[in-house]
Amino acid sequence: MKLLPEQRERLQAFLEDARSRLAVKLEAADGAAKIQFKPWTRPEGGGGTMAVLRGAVVEKAGVNISSVSGPEYPAMEGEHRGKPFTAAGLSTIAHMMNPHAPIAHMNVRMLEVGDSFWIGGGADLTPFIEYEDDTREFHAAMAEACKSWAPDCHPRFRAWCDEYFYIPHRQSRRGVGGIFFDYLEGDFDRCLGFMKALTDAYTDVYPRILERRKAMLWTEVEKEGQLYWRGRYAEFNLAWDRGTRFGLMTGGNTEAIFVSLPPTVKW
């Protein structure tokens, strides 16, 4: 079933509201820097807004929303290949100056292809220095959000995340995990409700973790280690991430796509 115009408007309003609420939290975590907004348009259809924060505490964070469309869905195979599509979503990533504060990522998206639609997304935590209470609190927040979709889906989505964020050439996972899901179909209100539950949970839990870690003292050895650890994050996003490939294949904004990459990194 295709989305109704009213449903597309509700989706867009949700994405803008979620972006705004998370932007406020990230600005508060930094304490001084302000997010810079940069709208963009796509000649083939659609566009979005790139929002980037660069500060002394939040070294680099992006909170992007986009809605792109085209005559042919860029799938390599499957029943949806070559059909008209629209993809709308929010993606956020934060790299902190302090090596004790974890990288975190979250995205939600709704795709309409031909006469069907589905949602995908997830959230994960990537600390260089792991703290068990941070990991436990993050997973608890994700488990609570998953109840919006189904009471028993969290273990499956958590395992899916571990599988998705595995780096084959490093033979390791990218971080401590979270949740990942794709191709979830249902009525519009259920799908939008799960997207909202995830963005609400992330907007609540990640800033709380940052408050515990952003002012901790660190050594130059720890900072150097963080920069090398970020290399794995960059490697995954460039070599394996579906969202990066989809954005490039659909002619998205290159600057916005690569906002997920760390500001400084070493190999």
Assigned domain for 266 exists? no
Of 197, 255, 236, which Cα lies nearest the Cα of 103? 236
Q: Which domain holds residue 248?
A: 5-260
What's the pTM?
A: 0.93
In which residue are the tokens 């390599």 written?
76
The verdict on residue 197 lying in a domain is yes
10-residue block means of pLDDT along the chain (267 residues)?
A: 92 98 97 96 89 97 94 71 89 97 97 94 97 98 98 97 94 94 96 98 98 97 96 89 80 82 91
Q: What is the pLDDT of residue 120?
A: 97
pLDDT for 45 equals 80
Q: Are 213 and 193 in contact (CB under 8 A)?
A: no
Give domain status of residue 147, yes or no. Answer: yes
CA-wise closest residue to 109 among 191, 178, 170, 37? 191
* CA pair distance 213, 265, nearest whole angstrom: 20
| In the block, residue with structure tokens 């539950």 | 197
Domain count, the chain: 1
- Active-site residue list: 105
Burial track 210-237 (b if 16+ CB lie within 10 A, e otherwise): beebbeeebeeeeeebbeebbebbebbb
The answer as to whether 193 is a domain residue is yes
CATH of the domain at 33: 3.40.1500.10
Q: Is residue 223 assigned to a domain?
A: yes
Whether 70 and 84 have beta carbons less than 8 Å apart is answered as yes
Is 265 part of a structural domain of the chain? no
47 within a domain of the structure (yes/no): yes
Q: Give the pLDDT confidence score for residue 78 in this predicted structure.
A: 64
Q: Which run of H or of E encompasses 25?
A: helix 5-30
Q: Is the CB of residue 244 less than 8 Å from the CB of residue 62?
A: no
